[in-house]
Amino acid sequence: MRRAELQQASGVLGVTTIECLNHVDGAVTNDEALRATLVGLIRQFRPEVVVGPDPTATFFGGVYVNHRDHRETGWALLDAVAPAAAMPLYFPEKGEAHQVNQLLLSGTHEPDVVIDVSRTIDTKVKAVLAHASQIAGDADGIRDVVYGRAEQAGRPVGLGFGEAFRSVELSF
Q: List, in order of start, the domains of the chain with CATH numbers.
A: 2-169 (3.40.50.10320)
Mean local confidence (pLDDT), 96-122: 97
The mean per-residue pLDDT over the stretch 95-124 comes to 97
Mean pLDDT of 120-141: 93
Q: What is the pLDDT of residue 172?
A: 63
Confidence of residue 60 (pLDDT cuts 50, 70, 90): confident
Average pLDDT over residues 20-28: 92
Cis (ω within 30 of 0) for the bond into 83? yes
Predicted model pTM: 0.92
pLDDT of residue 86: 97
> pLDDT band at 10, cuts 50/70/90?
very high
Average pLDDT in the chain: 95
Q: How confident is the model at residue 144 (pLDDT cuts 50, 70, 90)?
A: very high
User: Quick one: average pLDDT of 132-160?
Assistant: 93
